[in-house]
Each structure stands twice: as C-alpha cells, then as structure tokens.
C-alpha cells in the first residue's frame, strides 16, 4: 500500500464514520428539533448539515472532482427551516457517497496538484484533509446539540468503559 492510498483510505473511513454519526443524530431528532436554535447567533443541526454538504461539495466534488461549484454558503446558515430529517439524511448520504467516489479515484498527481478552492490555494491532499477536519469539527457540534436536545448520551464510546478494550484507541 502506498502512502497516498493509506491517506485516502483513512480519509474515506473517517469521513464515512463521521457522516454516520451525523445521520444517527438526525435519526434521534424530529423535524422541529433539527431546525431549533438557542438564539439568532446559533446554528440549528439542519444548518450544520446543509453547511457540511456545501463544504464537501465545494472542496471535494467540485474542487478535486471538477464539477461546477454551485455552492451558496450564506444560505446554509440563514435557513431557519427547510428539509426534514429524512431529506437531510438523504442529502448528507448522497453528498458523502459522491465525495467518496471522487476521493477513491484521486491519483498521486491530483493529490499534489495546486487547486484554488473557496479562494484558498491548496494541494489536493490539503483539500481532503481540510474537508475531513472540518467535517469532524461540525460533527462534534451536531453530537453536542443532539445530546442537549435529547438529554441522552449517544453511546458512541460505550466500548471504552469495557475493561477488555485495551489501550488501542484510534
């Protein structure tokens, strides 16, 4: 396995895991909860999902994959209602699946290419890393909001309470 395939394989696994956590959180909320905000300066879970889809589309599908950049970033945050839980899940899953397809076709040369995305000049490798890091940050926000709204632990790390887990935590 080459360094670039190791990087892409890990990035795909991480992005897929994070998307599954967001999808799980969406499944724990109803259509009203997904658009609730604590105040005007806060984003609803729905806003964060729209934002994640816009970011992944702009950086991976468009920036690396070459499709047209149709992102309307301000609309991701200004929406105060919109698609319900089912539609948000579908949008997120379709967007991530499309991005994974692009990522799995990235060549060593494309990882090294200089790209201009969202006004930033980055390599293809930096674009992938930026998206996975960004997705992780907002996944944490979605998880926190879901815990706050539902009043429940989501159990993602329950296995760490098991004494047989050992010391191998990724």
Helix (H) or strand (E) holding 24: helix 3-27
pLDDT top residue among 63 and 79: 63
What is the percentage of the chain residues whose pLDDT exceeds 70? 95
Is residue 165 very low, low, confident or very high in pLDDT (cuts 50, 70, 90)?
A: low
Q: What distance in Å separates the CA atoms of residue 37 and residue 56, rounded to the nearest whole number?
A: 23
Is residue 89 very low, low, confident or very high in pLDDT (cuts 50, 70, 90)?
A: very high
pLDDT at position 96 is 98
pTM for this prediction: 0.92
Is residue 160 very low, low, confident or very high in pLDDT (cuts 50, 70, 90)?
A: confident
Q: Which CATH class is domain 3-153?
A: mainly alpha
DSSP 157: T
Tokens of 75: 């609309």
Is the pLDDT at 167 greater than 70? The verdict is no
Residue 62: C-alpha distances to residues 21, 49, 52, 69, 154 (Å): 24, 18, 14, 5, 33
Is residue 170 very low, low, confident or very high in pLDDT (cuts 50, 70, 90)?
A: low
Domain boundaries, the chain: 3-153
Q: What is the pLDDT of residues 4-57, one digit of tens each?
A: 999 999 999 999 999 999 999 999 999 999 999 988 889 999 999 999 999 999
């Amino acid at each position: 396995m080459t360094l670039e395939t190791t990087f892409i394989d890990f990035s795909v696994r991480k992005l897929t895991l994070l998307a599954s956590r967001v999808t799980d959180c969406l499944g724990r909320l109803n259509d009203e909860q997904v658009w609730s905000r604590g105040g005007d300066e806060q984003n609803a879970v729905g806003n964060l999902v729209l934002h994640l889809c816009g970011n992944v589309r702009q950086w991976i599908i468009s920036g690396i994959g070459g499709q047209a950049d149709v992102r309307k970033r301000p609309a991701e945050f200004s929406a105060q209602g919109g698609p319900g839980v089912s539609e948000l899940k579908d949008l997120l899953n379709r967007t991530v699946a499309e991005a994974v397809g692009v990522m799995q076709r990235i060549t060593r040369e494309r990882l090294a290419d200089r790209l201009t995305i969202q006004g930033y000049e980055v390599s293809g490798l930096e674009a992938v890393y930026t998206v996975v890091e960004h997705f992780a940050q907002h996944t944490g926000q979605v998880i926190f909001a879901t815990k706050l709204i539902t009043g429940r632990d989501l159990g993602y790390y329950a296995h760490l309470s098991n004494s047989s887990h050992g010391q191998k935590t990724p």
